[in-house]
Structure formats: C-alpha cells, structure tokens
C-alpha cells in the first residue's frame, strides 16, 4: 500500500481548508471568507484503492500578534515535520507576491517534493490563469503545478493523483472509516465556530472561540467565547437572533456528524483576553 502525509501550506484565506476538503471528498476542516480561520493542525484522510493520502491542513503563514497567533505560527512551523510532500496553495485571484514568496522560501528548503496548487481559477479567463501560472512557476523548483478550483472541484482529481504518486510504501495510518483526526467534540466546536464566523465581521471572528461542554445522546452544549461585553452583544444579537441563527445553521451538520437528532444549547460568554491565556489556548487545542 502507498501511504503518507502531505502538508498544505499558504497564506491565510487562499483556500487551503477548502482544498483539503475537496481532496478528501468531504468536510474535514471549517472554511470561511475571513483570514485565520484554521487555528490548529488537522489531518484529513483520503482513502482509495491501495493508498491512503493524509493531508495536513495548517493555519496560514502569518506574523504573530499575540499568544494565539504565535501558537498558530508555531503549528505551521512544525507542520512540515515528517511529511512526504508539501502542497503550496496560491490564490489565482490575487497578486502572487511577498507573502507567497515567504511561504515558498520555507517550503522549498524542506527537501521534499513541492506541488503548487494555483487555486480559485473558477470564472477566471484563460490568459489570466496562464500569467498567474507563469508567476507561480518562479517560486521555486516545484515538482508539479496544478491550476485548480477547490470550490468547483476542477482539477482536484488530477492533483490528488499527483500527490498519491509521491507517496512511499507505508501502512494504513487511520482506519478506513475515519476522515479526520479531530475528536467529535472538536468537530462540533469547529462547526459552531464556522457558523459564528459567517455571521460576524471585521475583528470579531478572531475573538471568537468555541468549546463543547457536553456531547450527549440528546443534548449538545457549547460555549461561544468572546473577549468583551460589546462583542457578546453582537454575537447574541437582538433578542438572541444571532446566536439563534448560529444554532440553526450548525445543528443539521452536527446531527449529520453524530448520526442522530440533538438539542443544541449555545451560551455566549465573555472571557476577557482569552487569546492571551495560554492555559485556555491549550484547552482549546490552539
């Protein structure tokens, strides 16, 4: 059997998690249009005939601002240990520039094959894609370059085959029915956070964290942490409308994940400066 680990690197918001989900054929990591959505390492598993491809989704490369972002960058720095290859993800919709170069310098010095995924090519004209591919090809000595759309699935099978081709002979690292290495509690917390990110803007998404307190047969209870009272008012909304909407959006996905109906109880709590609280960050898996 061929099996191994491929890390997914890139600037924030280029579509790394969307790409991991597409390659795995199902939801492994939450996705949002806000940068810094992914805060921890997530292994997503793509099984097939005679192979197991494990994709390592990581936070985006960033300059740390506080203990939370420091820990996220630490996760990135260690995310390339013991991988068989790296996919560097670029957004075809943005200028390929200093941030991508920074990622490339790190990734191309690892001594493993690097595959460039030029993502978000959906609805772009051919000439623009070609010129972005030209720029991308100058980032380093790459093994292959694939234009893809993680959103529509364009080019995903070709990219997956390319990555499988780079895997060594190896064992089955995860049982075939396991799609990710996250516990059910963490997956539920992440789903709730995803919906909270959809309904908030600007700086607020970075100040939100979710912790599951009870994962029962009937009741799932989770806390949504924010840093200030005014943030709490926004996340609760008028007469609870926002937190209610978070629940409405999260519940079907949680039920699908757990395989049975649940009652979802969400509480919004102020936890001042939680992004600086190393013990809490540890508990939240960041």
Ligand X SMILES: Nc1nc2c(ncn2[C@@H]2O[C@H](COP(=O)(O)OP(=O)(O)OP(=O)(O)O)[C@@H](O)[C@H]2O)c(=O)[nH]1
| Binding residues for ligand X (CB under 6 A) | 10, 12-18, 31-33, 35-38, 59-60, 119-120, 122, 149-151
- Smallest distance, ligand X to C-beta of residue 219, A: 29
**Cβ burial, residue 245 (10 Å; 0-12/13-18/19+):** middle
Q: Which does 33 bind (CB under 5 to 8 A by kind): Mg ion, ligand X, none?
A: ligand X
- Smallest distance, ligand X to C-beta of residue 201, A: 13
What's the CA gap between 249 and 144, in Å, rounded? 38
Is-contact 205 38, C-beta < 8 A?
no
User: With binding defined as CB under 5 A, does residue 17 bind Mg ion?
Assistant: yes
Q: Which does 52 bind (CB under 5 to 8 A by kind): ligand X, Mg ion, none?
A: none
| DSSP three-state, residue 4 | strand
DSSP one-letter code for 180: B
Our CB check for Mg ion shows the closer of 16 and 120 to be 16
User: Contacting Mg ion (CB under 5 A), which of 38, 149, 186, 198?
Assistant: 38
- Smallest distance, ligand X to C-beta of residue 203, A: 14
Closest CA to 174 of 40, 75, 59, 28: 28
- Smallest distance, Mg ion to C-beta of residue 252, A: 22
Closest CA to 86 of 166, 30, 193: 166
- Smallest distance, ligand X to C-beta of residue 31, A: 4
Our CB check for ligand X shows the closer of 29 and 254 to be 29
Question: Both tokens of residue 139?
Answer: 């980032």
- Smallest distance, ligand X to C-beta of residue 176, A: 25
Judged by CB under 5 A, the stretch of 29-37, 139-147, 194-202, 237-245 that binds Mg ion is 29-37
Our CB check for ligand X shows the closer of 136 and 150 to be 150
**How many C-beta neighbours within 10 Å does residue 147 have?**
23
| DSSP three-state, residue 70 | helix
Question: Both tokens of residue 194?
Answer: 């995803």
What's the CA gap between 76 and 5, in Å, rounded? 15
Q: Which does 151 bind (CB under 5 to 8 A by kind): ligand X, Mg ion, none?
A: ligand X
Contacting residues toward Mg ion, per CB under 5 A? 16-17, 37-38
């Amino acid at each position: 059997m061929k099996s191994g680990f491929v890390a997914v690197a890139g600037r924030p918001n280029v579509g790394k998690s969307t790409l991991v989900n597409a390659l795995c054929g199902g939801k492994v990591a939450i996705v949002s249009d806000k940068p810094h959505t992914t805060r921890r390492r997530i292994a997503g598993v793509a099984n097939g005939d005679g192979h197991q491809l494990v994709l390592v989704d990581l936070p985006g490369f960033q300059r740390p601002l506080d203990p939370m972002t420091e820990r996220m960058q630490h996760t990135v720095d260690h995310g390339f240990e013991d991988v068989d290859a790296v996919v560097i993800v670029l957004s075809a919709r943005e200028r390929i520039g200093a941030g991508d170069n920074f990622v490339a310098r790190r990734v191309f010095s690892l001594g493993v094959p690097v595959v460039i995924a030029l993502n978000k090519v959906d609805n772009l004209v051919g000439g623009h894609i070609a010129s972005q591919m030209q720029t991308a090809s100058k980032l380093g000595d790459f093994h292959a370059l694939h234009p893809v759309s993680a959103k529509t699935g364009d080019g995903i099978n070709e990219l997956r085959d390319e990555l499988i081709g780079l895997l060594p002979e190896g064992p089955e690292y995860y049982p075939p029915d396991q799609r990710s290495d996250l516990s059910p509690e963490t997956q539920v917390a992440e789903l709730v956070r995803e919906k909270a990110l959809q309904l908030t803007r600007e700086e607020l998404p970075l100040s939100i964290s979710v912790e599951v307190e009870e994962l029962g047969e009937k009741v799932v209870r989770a806390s949504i942490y924010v840093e200030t009272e005014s943030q709490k008012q926004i996340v609760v909304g008028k007469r609870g409308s926002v937190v209610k909407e978070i629940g409405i959006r999260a519940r079907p996905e949680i039920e699908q994940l757990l395989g049975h109906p649940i009652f979802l109880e969400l509480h919004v709590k102020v936890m001042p400066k939680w992004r600086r609280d190393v013990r809490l960050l540890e508990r939240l898996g960041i």
